[in-house]
Amino acid sequence: MAANNNSDPILDEGGGGGVKHEAAGEAGEGKGGGGGAAAAAATQAPAAMLPRSGSRPQLDLSGAAIHGNLEDRNPTILLPNQSDDISHLALDIGGSLIKLVYFSRHAEHSSEDKRKLSTKRRLGMLNGGRRSYPVLGGRLHFVKFETGKLSECLDFISSKQLHRGGVDSPSWRSGAQPDNIVIKATGGGAFKYADLFKERLGVSLEKEDEMDCLVAGANFLLKSIRHEAFTHMDGQKEYVQIDQNDLFPFLLVNVGSGVSIIKVDGHGKFQRVSGTNVGGGTYWGLGRLMTKCKSFDELLELSQRGDNSTIDMLVGDIYGGLDYSKIGLSASTIASSFGKTISDDKELSDYRPEDISLSLLRMISYNIGQISYLNALRYGLKRIFFGGFFIRGHAYTMDTISFAVNFWSKGEAKAMFLRHEGFLGALGAFMSYEKHGLDDLRIHHLVERFPMGAPYISWMEKFVQKGTQITAPVPVGFPVTTGMGGFERPTAKGDILRSDASAALNVGVLHLVPTLDVFPLLEDPKMYEPNTIDLDLNEYKYWFKVLSDHLSDLVDKAVASEGGTDDAKRRGDAFAHAFSAHLARLMEEPAAYGKFGLANLLELREECLREFQFVDAYVSIKQRENEASLAVLPDLLMELDSMNEEARLLALIEGVLAANIFDWGSRACIDDFDMFKKRMLADKKGQPYKRALLFVDNSGADVVLGMIPLARELLRNGTEVVLVANSLPALNDVTANELPGIVAEAAKHCGILRKAAEAGGLIFDAMAGIQDDLKDEPVSVPLMVVENGCGSPCIDFRQLILEGMGRSLHTNLNARFKCDTLKLAMVKNQRLAEKLFNGNIYDCICKFEPVHLT
Ligand SMILES: Nc1ncnc2c1ncn2[C@@H]1O[C@H](COP(=O)(O)OP(=O)(O)O)[C@@H](O)[C@H]1O
Ligand SMILES: CC(C)(COP(=O)(O)O)[C@@H](O)C(=O)NCCC(=O)O
Ligand SMILES: [Mn+2]
């Protein structure tokens, strides 16, 4: 039988089979799970797209008119009343910063389309009637500007035409000038700068109340974004699992220029209970005056090298070096911020700016923590969420606030922080566009797909246009606390604050994918964790090395896939820099982007490639492998058909797992084949599976010689088969777009596949004229292809378009489903084999998990 020679070219440690081919020889390591997995559900209803929510943007066709040449085959249609495309920007113009939240639709990948067309043409499968597979929805971006540099912000909006729905919007392309564009805006600047916006951009700002927006933004984030909230104590960040049913009431403290303290009781139910004018503006303002720093970050960075005991009067200064233990104050506790300067006969210039900055930071953070706690106490609240850009993801600031809350509440109240800290108001304003209907979004509808937000957008533009260097982020120091009331000075690991750009990487671009839903066959969605192993720092180091080692090879492929042009080379460079910066950021703080498993790490790379417009780095490798495998498929099918049923089933499973691994002395580390065989053969007569979902993985031998023959066997047994494939390219994975072409080609050699593909609408009379003997193959069950909503080598079943079953090893090995499940994978990574099974590279997994009816 044919060897299943599939391997994931970057990630597998060795070639996946006997016949060396280019991709296998390139020997990366990692993804490991090779064969894909199949699931069989005996009772499920036909696969169907999940319905879109009724409150989502609707198409408003009133007044539609053809724009341009009526003779054109595809003239542009103007929808003058369709406002979706122009309500994609919202602003929060605060005392210090302007925050923008904007939505962009995924651009059409025209080069991909061309390529798709030529592949289809070559495979002889162009037919206009087949369904097309949509690319994933759109993205929410987060960008900020200094309020003092408002004109930069206006330029940004104008250059991207954000006020008119972006440069890709119909209104922009058509050159139409809607005369009254309205943009939602909150914050004081919505009032102050309304005229300027009208003058410069011709837009009217529709004012939304700042407190309404803060609360709406916070509620939305806490409800819809995974790993949004975290605690930060003693340098340790820990994400908080938010129980949707037990969220309210809480205290929201927004630390902007000033501080607003709001008691939140529900959606739209809140009361501003307090505030303080000692806030972010105070730290930055006083700090600027006293240190001559030119930027907020410079001031914050200085604090990391500061020693506040030269400025602050400590308890020990007053008590002759002793603690005041009776009231719980250590000698190092600050008794009086800046108090020491009253007795020193010194000028401002005699103090180190570093020390001044730290004293200021501690004074203001501590004060905010304390006032917040007192307000929590007033209302009996235990949870305090802190937002606003004063926080700036800065460890020392958060630790100081947490310390104050913890100290004064004696551990009763908890300070929590939000990853989108400064964007609460802007998000709230964005959500106030009623037609967005974002209010009913559930957590899996907004997928945070890696921080390619503001910094990366501007970095990318810089790279593409100027080829500027990205500076990799540098570590921020963690403070050390003493047990009793005081902080020692921070023991900074690095001496420079992470650049503003990379710090903003704490916030990802939110991908809005309204059709995504939790896979309904998951046994317990709440308990589901896609990643098989936790990434501790050691694991991180290992995978970072793997990914870094293969970066240059990947860049070569990516550049080649775009024709090797100068532009592609520049983008390749930019991709390498950006991806390395992400890796460095994660190395420094693995939880920087929320909990991050291997699946996320692998997806990050794919996302990053896409960000730099590499549509499909493996396109030609995939095509070559598909063609080579299709050429040997007829022989394989003939060989399979000559076997008895039992031998054939074994050959098929081996085929998926790569037949000749046994030659290499490998063993099966999980082997439930006999159980599976029993279900397939012995029980078959009574109750064949109604439907099987096959999660296909790699292009080439994996899908053509492994999964398609397995699908064919299931079809032969009367089981409907759904091939579930990635929506977007990732490594050499086959995509839902590519599969129909491959199936059509395979069907040329096989009546079973042909009839089933026709029944499933995959091909329409494509094989008319091809003679084969279908007498023995009375197949009427359909073979279908669906996309899974993923663009990653791994699958997260919380975020799927359609029902299916899990592939593989890195993810889903331990996932339990409500249907019988067969997990097939070859372990192509020594480390994983050892870790998971005490096994060896090329060991195989054939894990059958029938549903036990109780
Ligand atoms: N790049 C920056 N420039 C100015 N201030 C910053 C910056 N980054 C963080 N900050 C801090 O954040 C505060 C502004 O926070 P923000 O939530 O945007 O408030 P506002 O709505 O009043 O502008 C500033 O006063 C300052 O303390
Ligand atoms: C006036 C503000 C609401 C403006 O918001 P900001 O621009 O600071 O985000 C805020 O600065 C504030 O709440 N100041 C504190 C005023 C007080 O309660 O004393
Ligand atoms: Mn504000």
With a threshold of 0.90, tell me whether the complex ipTM lies above it: yes
- Least confident segment among 483-492, 565-574, 610-619, 674-683: 483-492
In which band, very low, low, confident or very high, does the pLDDT at 517 lie, cut at 50, 70 and 90? low
Q: Give residue 92's pLDDT.
A: 98
Ligand 1 pocket, residue 102 CB under 6 Å: no
**Overall average pLDDT of the 495-505 stretch:** 41
Ligand 2 pocket, residue 375 CB under 6 Å: no
**Which residue among 96, 147, 259, 391 is best mutated to probe the pocket of ligand 2, counting the most ligand atoms within 8 A of its Cβ?**
259
Which listed ligand is nearest to 273 at the C-alpha?
Answer: 2
Q: Which residue has the higher pLDDT, 505 or 828?
A: 828
**Alpha helices for 123-193 (secondary structure H):** 150-160, 170-174, 189-192
**Ligand 1 centroid – CA 271 distance (Å):** 23
SS (H, E, C) 758-810: HHCCCCCCCCCCCCCCCCCCCCCCCEEEEECCCCCCCCCCCCECCCCCCCCCC
DSSP letter for each residue of 459-478: HHHHHHHH-PPPPPP---PB
8 Å CB contact between 730 and 840: no
- Least confident segment among 258-267, 449-458, 626-635: 449-458
8 Å CB contact between 732 and 701: no
Phi, psi torsion values for 204, nearest 5 degrees:
-100, 135
**Ligand 1 centroid – CA 285 distance (Å):** 11
The whole-angstrom separation of Cα 355 and Cα 372 is 26
User: Which protein residue has the closest C-alpha to ligand 2 atom 12?
Assistant: 258
In which band, very low, low, confident or very high, does the pLDDT at 391 lie, cut at 50, 70 and 90? very high
Ligand 1 pocket, residue 145 CB under 6 Å: no
Ligand 1 pocket, residue 133 CB under 6 Å: no
Q: Which residue has the higher pLDDT, 268 or 122?
A: 268
Which ligand 2 atom sits closest to the C-alpha of 257? 8
The whole-angstrom separation of Cα 401 and Cα 230 is 13
pLDDT reading at 465 higher than 50: no
**Ligand 3 centroid – CA 254 distance (Å):** 7
Which ligand 2 atom sits closest to the C-alpha of 254? 9
**Ligand 2 centroid – CA 768 distance (Å):** 73
Q: Give residue 507's pLDDT.
A: 52
**What is the rounded end-to-end Cα distance, in angstroms, of the chain?**
40
Q: Which residue has the higher pLDDT, 17 or 371?
A: 371
pLDDT reading at 30 higher than 50: no
**Ligand 3 centroid – CA 388 distance (Å):** 7
Burial class, 716, CB count within 10 angstroms (exposed 0-12 / middle 13-18 / buried 19+): buried
Name the residues around ion ligand 3, CB cutoff 5 A: 94, 256
User: Which protein residue has the closest C-alpha to ligand 2 atom 1?
Assistant: 258
Q: Give residue 25's pLDDT.
A: 28
Which ligand 1 atom sits closest to the C-alpha of 281? 25
Q: Give residue 169's pLDDT.
A: 55
| Tokens matching residue 637 | 């099918």
**Which residue among 360, 390, 497 is best mutated to probe the pocket of ligand 1, counting the most ligand atoms within 8 A of its Cβ?**
390
Domain ranges of the chain: 34-49+620-849
**Ligand 3 centroid – CA 635 distance (Å):** 69
| Tokens matching residue 618 | 């493996």
Ligand 2 pocket, residue 95 CB under 6 Å: yes
User: Which protein residue has the closest C-alpha to ligand 1 atom 16?
Assistant: 256
Ligand 2 pocket, residue 278 CB under 6 Å: no
Residues 173, 174, 175, 178, CA torsion sign: negative
Q: Report the chain's mean pLDDT, rounded to a whole number.
A: 75
Residues 341, 344, 347, 353, CA torsion sign: negative
Tell me the percentage of the chain whose pLDDT exceeds 70. Answer: 67
| Helix, strand, coil abundance in the chain, percent, nearest 5 | 40, 20, 40
- Least confident segment among 241-245, 375-379, 430-434, 834-838: 834-838
User: Which protein residue has the closest C-alpha to ligand 2 atom 4?
Assistant: 258
**Ligand 3 centroid – CA 396 distance (Å):** 21
Q: Give residue 490's pLDDT.
A: 41
Q: Give residue 596's pLDDT.
A: 75
Ligand 1 pocket, residue 390 CB under 6 Å: yes
Q: Give residue 73's pLDDT.
A: 36
**pLDDT one-digit tens code per residue, 394-422:** 999 999 999 999 999 999 999 999 988 99
The whole-angstrom separation of Cα 654 and Cα 846 is 9
Picking from 303, 811, 765, 280, the residue whose alpha carbon sits closest to that of residue 528 is: 811
Tell me the percentage of the chain whose pLDDT exceeds 90. Answer: 38
Q: Give residue 168's pLDDT.
A: 52
**Ligand 2 centroid – CA 260 distance (Å):** 6
**Ligand 1 centroid – CA 641 distance (Å):** 70
pLDDT reading at 64 higher than 90: no
**Which residue among 257, 286, 357 is best mutated to probe the pocket of ligand 1, counting the most ligand atoms within 8 A of its Cβ?**
257
**Overall average pLDDT of the 476-489 stretch:** 38
List Cβ neighbours of 186 (8 Å cut-off, separation of 6 or more): 90, 91, 92, 93, 207, 208, 209, 210, 212, 213, 425, 426, 428, 429
Ligand 1 pocket, residue 394 CB under 6 Å: no
User: Which protein residue has the closest C-alpha to ligand 2 atom 14?
Assistant: 258
DSSP state of 84: G
DSSP state of 435: G
**Overall average pLDDT of the 297-318 stretch:** 95
Ligand 1 pocket, residue 281 CB under 6 Å: yes
**Ligand 2 centroid – CA 281 distance (Å):** 10
**Overall average pLDDT of the 118-143 stretch:** 43
Q: Which residue has the higher pLDDT, 253 or 537?
A: 253
Top mean pLDDT of 361-375, 456-470, 776-790 is at 361-375
Backbone dihedral region of 139: left (phi > 0), alpha (psi from -120 to 50 degrees) or beta? beta
Which ligand 1 atom sits closest to the C-alpha of 421? 17
Residues 165, 167, 172, 178, CA torsion sign: positive
**pLDDT one-digit tens code per residue, 338-353:** 999 998 889 999 999 9
Which listed ligand is nearest to 425 at the C-alpha?
Answer: 3
Which long-range contacts link 314-317 to residues 24+ away (Cβ below 8 Å)? Answer: 314/486, 315/485, 315/486
Which listed ligand is nearest to 259 at the C-alpha?
Answer: 2
Ligand 1 pocket, residue 186 CB under 6 Å: no
**Overall average pLDDT of the 186-209 stretch:** 96
In which band, very low, low, confident or very high, does the pLDDT at 129 lie, cut at 50, 70 and 90? very low
Kindly report the CATH number that applies to the domain delimited by 34-49+620-849: 3.40.50.10880
**Overall average pLDDT of the 275-293 stretch:** 97
Q: Give residue 838's pLDDT.
A: 79
Ligand 2 pocket, residue 256 CB under 6 Å: yes
Q: Give residue 132's pLDDT.
A: 32
**pLDDT one-digit tens code per residue, 713-753:** 999 988 889 898 888 888 888 999 999 999 999 999 898 99
**Ligand 1 centroid – CA 97 distance (Å):** 5
CB atoms near residue 348 (< 10 Å): 11
Burial class, 215, CB count within 10 angstroms (exposed 0-12 / middle 13-18 / buried 19+): buried
Ligand 2 pocket, residue 189 CB under 6 Å: no
Ligand 2 pocket, residue 259 CB under 6 Å: yes
Beta strand 383-387 with 414-418 is parallel
The whole-angstrom separation of Cα 156 and Cα 516 is 31
Ligand 1 pocket, residue 97 CB under 6 Å: yes
pLDDT reading at 77 higher than 90: no
Element (H, E) at 252: strand 250-255
Q: Directed axis angle between helix 537-549 and helix 551-561, to 10°? A: 50
Burial class, 834, CB count within 10 angstroms (exposed 0-12 / middle 13-18 / buried 19+): middle
pLDDT reading at 225 higher than 60: yes
Q: Give residue 637's pLDDT.
A: 95
Which ligand 1 atom sits closest to the C-alpha of 98? 23
Q: Give residue 710's pLDDT.
A: 93
Ligand 2 pocket, residue 209 CB under 6 Å: no
The whole-angstrom separation of Cα 358 and Cα 301 is 9
Q: Which residue has the higher pLDDT, 12 or 383?
A: 383
| Tokens matching residue 529 | 């964790």
In which band, very low, low, confident or very high, does the pLDDT at 462 lie, cut at 50, 70 and 90? very low
**pLDDT one-digit tens code per residue, 530-571:** 777 777 778 888 888 889 998 999 999 999 999 999 989 988
**Ligand 3 centroid – CA 449 distance (Å):** 26
pLDDT reading at 471 higher than 60: no
Q: Give residue 317's pLDDT.
A: 95
pLDDT reading at 43 higher than 90: no
**Ligand 3 centroid – CA 267 distance (Å):** 20
**Which residue among 257, 270, 427 is best mutated to probe the pocket of ligand 2, counting the most ligand atoms within 8 A of its Cβ?**
257
Q: Which residue has the higher pLDDT, 125 or 485?
A: 485
In which band, very low, low, confident or very high, does the pLDDT at 211 lie, cut at 50, 70 and 90? very high
* Edge-to-edge strand ranges of the sheet holding 269-276: 236-239, 229-233, 414-418, 383-387, 250-255, 259-266, 269-276
